[in-house]
Amino acid sequence: MSSQDRQYERAAQEFGGALSRLVRGYEADPEKRRDLLQEIHLSLWRSFAGFDERCALRTWVYRVAHNTAAGWVLRQKRSRPQMLVSLEEVDVAAVDVRHDEHLALDRLTGLIRQLRPLDRQVILAWLEGLDAAAIGELTGLSSGNIATKIHRIKAILTKQFHQGVSDGTNHAG
């Protein structure tokens, strides 16, 4: 087994669950989620040919996964035009409002999916337990900027989530 294969195998074992959760934040359709996850695993395996361990394995895996997912979103946007929105414009229209915990998680994931790729990357990395410094390493932003973004994204998602729950409307525009 090559070094590339060993590194990939270790990364897949250690971060497989996180990659599955990350994919859910980028793609709503289960079939397309499987395709995206497969694409991330392929990109990850290929990336280990050039991995020189100048950063932590976790950082490398998240960077490759988020870059692959961001590329996926852009390709999907071209193939099915749909406008990505700013944080202020997040629409709850496509998300079903119910009190069941599983559906609430789906609803939140749907709101996250509507974010622009960088904001989505930041909040998904934060939800996976990465701190501002680690997310900054992934994105190239300062940890202070990341902390501000996280606070702002959380506030907006909370508002949008509760707005849809409290008034029970679809907010279709």
Helix (H, G, I), strand (E, B) or coil at 81: coil
**Close Cβ partners of 163 (under 8 Å, ≥ 6 residues apart):** 92, 171
Contact (CB, 8 A) for 137 and 55? yes
In the CATH scheme, what is the code of domain 1-82? 1.10.1740.10
According to DSSP, residue 143 is labeled H
Query: What is the pTM for the complete model shown?
Result: 0.64
**Cβ neighbourhood burial of 129 (10 Å; 0-12, 13-18, 19+):** exposed
Looking at 2.60.40, 1.10.3470, 3.30.70, 1.10.10, the CATH number of the domain 86-173 comes to 1.10.10
Write down the pLDDT at residue 76.
79
Write down the pLDDT at residue 164.
67
- DSSP string over 93-132: TTS---SSHHHHHHHHHHHHHTS-HHHHHHHHHHHTT--H
pLDDT in tens, the chain (173 residues): 888 999 999 999 999 999 999 998 888 889 999 999 999 999 999 999 999 888 889 999 999 999 999 888 878 777 765 555 565 555 544 443 334 566 777 888 889 988 988 899 999 999 888 899 999 988 889 999 999 999 999 998 988 888 865 544 433 32
Contact (CB, 8 A) for 45 and 4? yes
Integer CA distances (angstroms), 9 to 2, 16, 58, 79, 131, in order: 11, 10, 13, 32, 25
* Domain chopping of the chain, boundaries: 1-82, 86-173
Write down the pLDDT at residue 84.
59
Contact (CB, 8 A) for 83 and 70? no
Write down the pLDDT at residue 80.
66
